[in-house]
Amino acid sequence: MIQAAIFYLLAGATVLAGIMVISARNPVHSVLWLIFAFVNAAGLFLVIGAEFLAMLLVIVYVGAVAVLFLFVVMMLDIDFATLRAGAMRYLPLGLLLGAALSVELLLVASAWEAGAIAPSAPPRSGLSNTQALGTLLYTDYVFVFQAAGLILLTAMVGAIVLTHRERAGVKRQDPFRQASRTPAETIALARPAVGAGVETEGGVR
C-alpha cells in the first residue's frame, strides 16, 4: 500500500517532469526538469529494490552527463523565437515517433500480461544487488560487456579525433619546466651606476 503510493508519487513526478522538459520556455529550465525526471526514475528503481542501478543512474546520468548537458545549454545563446517557429512543422514527425513508441510499449505490456515473457529468475539468492550484477556481467555476459566497453572506447576516440586540432603558433605551458625553474635561471641582479641604466637583450628571460 505504501509502496504503491510511493510508486505513483514518483511516477507522477517523472511524467510531470517529462512534460515540463518539452514545455518549459527556457532551455536551462528544461534541463533542470530533465534532471528532476532522472532523480525520480532513480527513486522508481529503489521502489523495485534495484538500489545499485538507482545509485548508478544518479551518479552517471545526473552527476556527470546532465552536468555537461546543462553546461552546454547554459553557454548557448538560444533565440527562443526561431526555436518555436519550426514546432508545427515537426509536430507530425514527433507524433508519429510517439505513436510508434506507444504501440511498442503496448505490445510488450500485453505480451507480459499474456505470460509470453517471463521474468528470468535471480541468479543466486543471498547475494546483494551489486554482487549479483557483477557475477552476471563478468561470467555469462562478459563478451557483451567487453563489446559495450569497446564501443564506448571507439566513441571516445572518435570524439577526441573530431575535436583535436593541430594549430601552429600556440603558446604552450610545460608545468614540469615551470616548476623546475630556479632563481639563477631567471633573475639577474644588476647594480647600475646612477643615470647609466642596464642594457639587456630581452628583459625577462
> Site mask, other proteins, residues 24-43, x = CB under 8 A?
--x-xx--x--x--------
> Site mask, other proteins, residues 48-87, x = CB under 8 A?
---xx--xx-xx--xxx--xx-xx--xx------------
Residues in the chain: 205
Give me the phi and psi of 41, to 5 degrees please: -65, -40
User: Which segment (82-90, 121-129, 161-169, 186-194) binds other proteins by CB under 8 A?
Assistant: 121-129
Binds other proteins (CB under 8 A): choice among 110, 130, 146, 154: 130
Quick one: 28 or 142, whose CB is closer to other proteins? 28
What cell does 94 get?
514527433
- Which letter does DSSP use for residue 67 in this model? H
What cell does 196 get?
647609466
Q: How many CB atoms lie within 10 A of CB 16?
A: 14
Is 134 a binding residue for other proteins by CB under 8 A? The answer is yes
Q: Is the dihedral of CA 177, 179, 182, 183 positive or negative?
A: positive
Least distance to other proteins from the beta carbon of 169, Å? Answer: 18
- Which letter does DSSP use for residue 65 in this model? I
User: Which segment (15-23, 92-100, 123-131, 156-164) binds other proteins by CB under 8 A?
Assistant: 123-131
Residue 203: HSE in the Cβ half-sphere, 13 Å Cα cutoff: 0
Binds other proteins (CB under 8 A): choice among 23, 131, 146, 154: 131
Place of cell 506507444: 102
Q: In Å, how far are 19, 147, 185 from 192, measured between CA atoms? A: 76, 71, 20
Quick one: 13 or 127, whose CB is closer to other proteins? 127
Quick one: 84 or 124, whose CB is closer to other proteins? 124
> Site mask, other proteins, residues 6-25, x = CB under 8 A?
--------------------
- The Cα 16–Cα 138 span in angstroms is 38
Angle, CA 51 vertex, CA 45 and CA 55 arms, to 5°: 90
The residues of the shown chain that bind other proteins, judged by CB under 8 A, are 2, 26, 28-29, 32, 35, 51-52, 55-56, 58-59, 62-64, 67-68, 70-71, 74-75, 127-131, 134-135, 173, 175
